[in-house]
Structure 1
Amino acid sequence: MSDEAPTPSRGRSRLRAAGDALAQLAPALRTPDRTAQPLFAQAPRAWQRLLPYAVVGIFVTTLLPVTITVLIGDYGADGGWAGALGVAQTVPLLLAVTRPLPAWLLVLLADTLGALLLTQADTVGGQSWPWPPMTVVGYLVVMACLGLRESVRTLVGVWLATGVLGAFLGFFRPSGSTDTAALLFVLSGIVLALTAALRGLGDARQRIAEQEVISEAERSRRTLLEERARIARELHDVVAHHMSVITVQADSAPYRLPGMPEPVREEFAAIAASARESLGEMRRLLTVLRSDGANGGGANGGGDGAALAPQPGIGRLQQLVEATVRAGQPVELSLAAAAVGVAPPAVDLSAYRIVQEALANVVRHAPGAATRVSVTVDEGEGEGSGQGEVLVLVVNGPARDAVVEVESAGTGHGLVGMRERVRLTGGTLDTGPLPDGGFRVAARLPLSAGGDMAAIDPNGKTEESS
């Protein structure tokens, strides 16, 4: 019983090995891109690209002397004619690697001429005719090359031409000879079908690989657009608050500052009108951005209450870390008091979201790993330089157990969202694995964040790319 138990496992292992070998050879089996491109020219390894030349070369060097010997010894053909026929029937096989259809025409013509000449041979009786064994082998080599390159219509035409020619030559068959026309017709059909199927497998695998690349590009683009739309929704709340303050201040200025000249009153009225118009435009934009949230709360995953809630900032990082610790993730927070309340709204929100998304990645990819979060303020060089920065650093150690590989290609929502937020504020982002198996997220967000406001476009267009 112990000897029989591993048998299914060994069988599956052999099947997997065969499948892997075929998968590696699949790129070589697909249809060449150009007319005169050699067979297997697109193979990934050099020995695979040289394989057709080696195989055809072996057949030529073997068939040439055998053909001459058999024609002279078995069929009693003249030595000169035997040598000429041997060369004409075998040497064109070398052309089949790059141009199998012309090679087939040359071989077919030489084989037909040889069949007609053999009708006058001394000992053709009792021998194979019109296709001697060497002719059948050489012809099948050409059929294999044709099946790996030509279209199905061409292959059907070649196969039918082989059968029609064999039937036509049957009218001239010498008495006592063995008719091999049907044999070649059947064998050539089998070879054409098998090689065409292998080529079809290679083409199918190539199309699948190309489709996977396209799908991955589309998935990355969709992820980027979703992140940009989410960031735009959040920034709307920040900008709308400031626009509302401008509107209120401009409308109330004549009452707070009595005795204001009429031109100044008109100027404040124009400011208030422009601010109200801008608020209206932003509300219409927000309606478009949140149109997909009617049924599910939009990208933020909440309902209307979540969409209308105040946007978080650096001051709420303590609550975020405490919630992560309660979820079982050991996190240590170092938050400089100078970082709270000094950052512009866009930087304040971006810093919070970067930490939030970094912790989410730690929970997914390195559960249980010790994590440190640090948010500080760098005042910059020189007094009054105005070049201060908020420094956000999230570092985690290796996971305690085997988990999914840390995201490093930048195709997930976490790193995409971080990059978009950092680019919005004009900062820099540095992410990557650590030597001990952990991961690092470091962001520098300038306090004078002019940023790239045009970069956040729901249609995915930026000033850089447009």
Structure 2
Amino acid sequence: MRIRPLAVDALIALALTAVAVLLGEESARQGWPELDASGYVLVALANLPAVLRGKAPLAVFLFVHAVWFVYVTAGYWPVLNTFAPMLAVYTVASLRPARLSLPCAALTGAAWIYAGLITDGATMAAVVAQAIGFPLVIWRFGHAARRTAELARQLKVEQDERARREVAEERGRIARELHDVVAHHMSVISVQAGLATFVFGSDPATARAALGTIAGTSGEALEELRRMLRVLRAGDGEDGDGTPEAPMPGLARLAEMVERVRAGGVPVELRVTGEPRPLAPGIELCAYRVVQEALTNVLKHAPGAGTDVELAYRRRHIEVSVSNDGKGVIQDRVRTGGGHGLIGMRERAKLYGGTISIGPLSEGGFAVRLTLPTSARAAAQGDSGAE
């Protein structure tokens, strides 16, 4: 259970008052007048206002010192009411800037010297040393507490800002992910819709197959959109619709992707070498998305090109390549340095410590080759097979 600051200050005020009352019983033994009704009233007025020190530190300081001045002038033992003024100095120093708290500490020292001047037999050298030393030390502690609180607040602001930046970066990553996914599916849908329109009257079976591919692809696109929207809503503090998230795609679904692209009219072949094994989900997703983006580019820029997708499992890394023979290219040149898809592929490879090459082949065509380490050691030291 969290204790409220006002309750803590109330306990402190009661403790200060109790200590002052107990010390008051020693006044006579110390050669000072015993506390009477007026003395007890002044003791209460000097200590009980500490309950409000957190809300009005400067007002409490001035009130406590005014009562202390009256108390000392009345001839009572000054030591009884020294704790509340020192606490007031600390409070002002911990909550207010030095231009306000230093004069308050000086005022406490002046009141201390005043008490020594009106006390018979007081050693003024010791009184002046105490009047300078005690308020200065207490002020220093209060000022240090204020600086610590300011640094803590600044650190929290920086942490909150860093968290906001990380959220923004994550949302940017999600947006790029969404672009890759939707671009691929929409390319397939576009090709299939054109095919269905072309053969609708002459080849109903092919048209029906194309429409079936459109239905399946659009369903997968909607699934991906729902997954991304759930992530975005979770970033805004919403719980989403409560439905479980579908697993992120991996290398096991490459055959489905290739079949879908082949149904779109692109002659694609998939070859897998090496012994397939479970990989980290991030590695599989990275390889899957790179292949997806590369095939999307084939659909966009070379829909008639023969395309090969190769996946090779090595000892400490995997190699993925998508290459085409360049036939059916509808643009004179595909730039290798621009476009959101190419940038996204490079960012993914860099994120997982891999390497990627994107560019035309000497014998014609275009290729994307990705190498990803599959172990932390390989990612840190590199793999000779990946070079």
Structure-1-length-normalised TM-score: 0.37
Structure-2-length-normalised TM-score: 0.44
Q: Which structure is richer in relative contact order (CA contacts within 8 A, separation 6 or more)?
A: 1
